Amino acid sequence: MSSYASLLKTPGVARIIAAQLTARFPNGMLSLAFLLHIEHITGSYGSAGLVLAATSVGQAVAGPVTSRWMGVWGMRRVLVLTIAVSAAMTAVIAFVEMSVPAYMVVGLIVGLSSPPVQSAVRTIYPKMVNSRQLTPLFALDASAQEIIWVAGPVITTFVALQFSTVAAIVLALAFLIFGGAWFVLSPEVGRVRIPRSRRKLGKVLTKRAVLLSTITGFLLLGACSAVEASVVSAFGHDGLEGGLVLGIFAIGSLIGGLALGHLPVSPWSMARRMFAVFVGMALALFSLDFWWLAVTLLIAGIGIAPAFGVMSAIVTSSVKFSDTAEAYGWVGTGQLIGAALGSALAGFLIDLNGPSGGFLVAATFAFFGFLFPTLFRRWHPDLRGRDASPIPDTEPVYTQPS
């Protein structure tokens, strides 16, 4: 814990973590708010899953593109544009009743305009701390973001239950606007300049660590999205149990991140963390009892934040600084495609077989999320005793002949 305390004393670190968490807080609210809102209007979890899938696909397409734009136009310009468009389209979903295809189109635009806050902040981090502090900082960031998943579902469920699903979306919208403004105005966002990448779009995926993180993130988020839909369908709209179970799920991730985040990163680190996720989700298949799900998803959660921390560390250490934002964009794209597929598959199986069908989807994603980094552990950098900073961008130096 002392390493985390020293990190928070580093100038600007606590502020930038708080600002980006606030800006990203809607990530823990909007999926559930959209799910509740669309299901309330249409009466179908499958229809709601399609809207969430469209939103996630939009985010997946935009991720590497908007992240790369930050190296061309600057972070602030890209962030302001995407925040404005995303906020406007989120308001449309909240206040305009439409057909499911129309909701899907608007959801797609919400996804396409998703602000690349995560890519921005993880590109900024290596410029704020020394190389020894970078891996613990990624772990602290991954752990702290679980506050989003602890409080977000609980707040969303409570507001939707006590007021309306529209109010839940509007509250998420307020976080998007306020948090986005706070992050954009942070000095570090204006101070750090991402060099223009000289590689073609997508070339960074030839780095094995980036591809490993992208595919594993795809599987991890697919599992998590299926769990979210399954928990909501298991407990419905008549109480806070669903939000509480999802909050406990995130608390497990927070505990795991703080307990394991400072450990050295070895080639087995990703597989070990994903094994905990798989075990917890597999156990969740056996009962829909509140306490059973709370315990099993607590176990599953223990591996999530540490897995995200490992992804960040191995990506950063494997690419040039000018490519870090795009690399994180691709990792985010993998996660969001997984979220789209997990939500859609879980939604349809829930309609057919009830919540157990959704948990089966989650356990299947988690199993392959464990299997892939196990089979391809040679793609996983060994960072024990190594510098996790990005590779410096270098240019040839021309000299005049003497």
Q: What pLDDT digit, counting tens, does each position of 204-213 carry?
A: 888 888 999 9
Residue 38 included in any domain = yes
Share of the chain above pLDDT 70, in %: 92
Residue 8 included in any domain = no
Residue 397 included in any domain = no
Q: What are phi and psi of 373, to 5 degrees?
A: -70, -20
Overall domain count for the chain: 1
Region 312-323: what's the mean pLDDT?
80
90 vs 259, more confident = 90
Interior angle at CA 53, CA 63 and CA 223, nearest 5 = 85
Domain, as residue range, for 110: 16-191+202-379
The tally of CA atoms less than 13 A away on the side-chain side of residue 110 is: 28
Q: What are phi and psi of 391, to 5 degrees?
A: -70, 130
Please answer whether residues 342 and 281 qualify as being in contact, where contact means their C-beta atoms are separated by less than 8 angstroms: no
3-state class (DSSP) for residue 391: strand
Region 215-223: what's the mean pLDDT?
92
The tally of CA atoms less than 13 A away on the side-chain side of residue 279 is: 12
**What pLDDT is stored for residue 177 in this prediction?**
95
Spatial distance between the Cα atoms of 60 and 65, rounded to a whole number of angstroms: 9
**Closest to 227 measured CA to CA, from 29, 366, 89:** 366
Q: Is 111 exposed, middle or buried (0-12, 13-18, 19+ CB in 10 A)?
A: buried
**What pLDDT is stored for residue 395 in this prediction?**
47
Assess whether pLDDT exceeds 60 at residue 109.
yes
Residue 389 included in any domain = no
| CATH number for position 139 | 1.20.1250.20
Residue 390 included in any domain = no
Spatial distance between the Cα atoms of 201 and 203, rounded to a whole number of angstroms: 6
- The pTM of this model reads 0.77
Assess whether pLDDT exceeds 70 at residue 402.
no
* Residue 399 pLDDT level (bands cut at 50, 70, 90): very low
pLDDT in tens, 119-174: 888 888 878 877 677 777 777 777 777 777 667 777 887 888 888 889 999 999 99
Q: How far apart are the first and last CA of the chain?
A: 56
Residues 6+ apart with CB under 8 A from 11: none
pLDDT in tens, 111-120: 899 898 888 8
Q: Is 267 exposed, middle or buried (0-12, 13-18, 19+ CB in 10 A)?
A: middle
**What pLDDT is stored for residue 401 in this prediction?**
43
**What pLDDT is stored for residue 238 in this prediction?**
57
Residue 44 included in any domain = yes
Residue 293 included in any domain = yes
* Residue 3 pLDDT level (bands cut at 50, 70, 90): low
Please answer whether residues 120 and 70 qualify as being in contact, where contact means their C-beta atoms are separated by less than 8 angstroms: yes
Residue 288 included in any domain = yes
